[in-house]
């Protein structure tokens, strides 16, 4: 694979370059990265911070909540009372129910997400759409945590790869849906990251792969749309397997 005259360091560099070239081809010539990027972004339109805010707004608007903590909403001569207690995001309470989603829930969500007749205004998220945003975030977390398997031919350093790239050359696995229980941990982690980042020198992130953020699925490629539908369905159907 490598000429005998090459030293060890050259050998490793040659093998590394050959591996990188062979790996990049199927990733760029199939729609998998574009599909995953679209799903990760379009399903997570509020981020965990915005989702947490919507959770607390929804809970605090419940009649029983306002009755139970009425004293917190009363203004005194010293100004507004302190903020009332709130239930951790994703945890059901007397004021706000958030059970783990089942197959019927995921089917309803997919119908809403893929329907062009039921647009959701993400610029002004409404408490009535909280369940939609919760499931969307859980599904986005699945696509952020999945794995990609790439089928490659034998490496031949110095010789450009000629393997035909087929759709089955790239496989996405680990599509198990996430639990509501994880939302609290993600919220805590997000706060820790923000607090840590605020103490260091700021850097501008330039994302050349950024996908548009439409209200619904938006793609000019039929294969990309089909891939999105398939990945969504596979993630949901994981419940049938386990």
Spatial contact of 180 and 98, defined as CB atoms under 8 Å apart: yes
Any domain includes 2: no
The pLDDT tens digits for 210-221 are 544 444 334 344
User: Which string of DSSP letters, residue by residue, matches 34-55?
Assistant: HHHHHHHHHH-SSHHHHHHHHH
Alpha-carbon gap, residue 172 to 37, rounded angstroms = 13
Any domain includes 113: yes
Question: Residue 211: which of 94, 35, 38 has the closest Cα?
Answer: 38
Domain count for the chain = 1
Any domain includes 75: no
Any domain includes 1: no
Alpha-carbon gap, residue 103 to 191, rounded angstroms = 32
The pLDDT tens digits for 134-162 are 999 999 999 999 999 888 777 666 666 66
The pLDDT tens digits for 194-210 are 888 877 776 766 655 45
Question: Domain of 113?
Answer: 8-69+87-241
pTM score of the predicted model? 0.76
| Residue partners of 1: CB distance under 8 A and separation at least 6 | 15, 155, 156, 157
Any domain includes 76: no
Spatial contact of 120 and 112, defined as CB atoms under 8 Å apart: yes
pLDDT averaged over every residue in the chain: 77
Any domain includes 233: yes
DSSP letter (8 states) at residue 94? S
Give the dihedral of Cα atoms 151, 154, 160, 162; nearest 10 deg: -60
Any domain includes 34: yes
CB neighbourhood size of 109 (10 A): 21
Any domain includes 78: no
> Among the residues of the chain, which ranges form H helices?
8-29, 32-43, 47-60, 63-68, 103-114, 130-144, 182-198, 222-241
The pLDDT tens digits for 76-95 are 556 555 778 889 999 998 89
Spatial contact of 100 and 180, defined as CB atoms under 8 Å apart: yes
């Amino acid at each position: 694979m490598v000429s005998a005259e090459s030293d060890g360091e050259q050998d490793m560099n040659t093998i590394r370059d050959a591996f990188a070239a062979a790996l990049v081809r199927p990733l760029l010539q199939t729609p998998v990265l574009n599909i995953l990027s679209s799903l990760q972004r379009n399903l997570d339109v509020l981020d965990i911070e915005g989702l947490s805010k919507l959770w607390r707004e929804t809970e605090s608007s419940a009649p029983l909540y306002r009755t139970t903590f009425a004293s917190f909403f009363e203004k005194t001569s010293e100004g507004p009372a302190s903020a009332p207690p709130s239930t951790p995001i994703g945890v059901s309470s007397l004021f706000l129910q958030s059970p783990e989603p089942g197959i019927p829930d995921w089917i309803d969500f997919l119908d809403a997400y893929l329907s062009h007749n039921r647009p959701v205004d993400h610029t002004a998220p409404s408490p009535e759409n909280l369940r939609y945003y919760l499931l969307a975030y859980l599904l986005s977390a699945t696509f952020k945590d999945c794995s990609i398997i790439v089928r490659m031919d034998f490496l031949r350093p110095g010789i450009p790869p000629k393997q035909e790239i087929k759709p089955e050359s790239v496989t996405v696995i680990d599509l198990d849906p996430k639990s509501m229980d994880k939302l609290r941990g993600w919220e805590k982690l997000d706060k820790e990251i923000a607090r840590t980042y605020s103490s260091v020198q700021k850097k501008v992130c330039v994302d050349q792969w950024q996908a548009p953020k439409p209200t619904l699925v938006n793609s000019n490629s039929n294969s990309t749309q089909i891939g999105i539908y398939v990945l969504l369905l596979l993630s949901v159907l994981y419940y049938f397997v386990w």
